Amino acid sequence: MADADAGTWINAALSILIAFTVATLIDRAFRGRAARLAAEKTGLSREGATRLRFVRRLLYATIVVIGITIALSGFTGISQLATSLLASGAIAAAIVGFAARQTLANFIAGIMLAITQPLRVGDWVSFEGNYGVVEDVSLNHTVLRTATEQRIVIPNEKLAGGILKNDTLVVDLVALDVVVWLPPEADVELAIAALHDETGQDVSVAEIVPWGTRLAVGSDPVSPPDKASAEAALRRQCLQRLRHEGLLRGGLTDPA
């Protein structure tokens, strides 16, 4: 009996070891393929890189789960437990489904993101006030790297159900989003002419409310990493010109 138990434990350990070894080898093969494609002249597209990461991790998880399942199947107690659970399948399914709802939801959302690809590795996106480059898309979460090197981890379920702004889904350059406010009594036409002369860009009236007028200032496209600094510089340039023209006196003042 002791020899049989020892053999069972050895077989289980070997099954798990083999599963992790095979999964690791396949994972390294995928990584090597990605590195070779990245080194080539054409490189690997963002769509391909995102799908490759997802498939690689999905295969890894699947192989490990199969190995653990095979290992556990050799234990008599586990087999009996599995038989009992199958006999009350509805209850077991309800318990497991409730306990793993969040994990399964994130996993299914990850599959949807990998197929539809509203964002890809390397894209610059905005989500719930956070702006950064997509650094990784895993089975359960997505990682954004901000301009200040912070990492923001977003569950895939939340990402799939939220409103996402992708600056580089179609093009690699982005326009700036700069607005300035004028006091209610300010000469709007003079402000538009002054800002156009200062920046050489189109200036338009974006909104008129009782407490002031909001002007939108156009810009030349920039690379996403430079967006924040370019917006700050353009905003400061506009405010300095408006102050020089005396258009910020009264109601609204320069927030800087």
Report whether pLDDT(5) > 50: yes
Report whether pLDDT(171) > 60: yes
pLDDT of the residue at 99: 55
Span 174-219, pLDDT tens digits: 888 899 999 988 899 999 999 999 988 889 999 889 888 999 998 8
Tokens of 19: 């599963």
pLDDT of the residue at 38: 58
What average pLDDT does the segment 69-78 reach? 68
Q: Could you name the CATH architecture of 124-166?
A: Roll (2.30)
Confidence class of residue 74 from pLDDT cuts 50, 70 and 90? low
Does residue 182 contact residue 242 with C-beta atoms inside 8 Å?
yes
pLDDT of the residue at 103: 75
pLDDT of the residue at 1: 46
- d(CA 50, CA 145) in angstroms, rounded, equals 16
Does residue 244 contact residue 254 with C-beta atoms inside 8 Å?
no
First-last CA distance in the chain = 80
Sorted by where each begins, the domain ranges of the chain are 2-99, 124-166, 178-244
Span 82-104, pLDDT tens digits: 555 555 555 555 555 555 577 77
Span 218-250, pLDDT tens digits: 888 888 888 888 989 999 999 999 999 888 875
pLDDT of the residue at 39: 59
pLDDT of the residue at 217: 92
Span 22-59, pLDDT tens digits: 878 887 777 776 666 655 655 566 666 777 777 777 78
pLDDT of the residue at 253: 42
pLDDT of the residue at 66: 83
pLDDT of the residue at 254: 40
Burial call 37-62: b when 16+ CB within 10 Å, e when fewer? eeeeeeebebeebbbbbbebbeebee
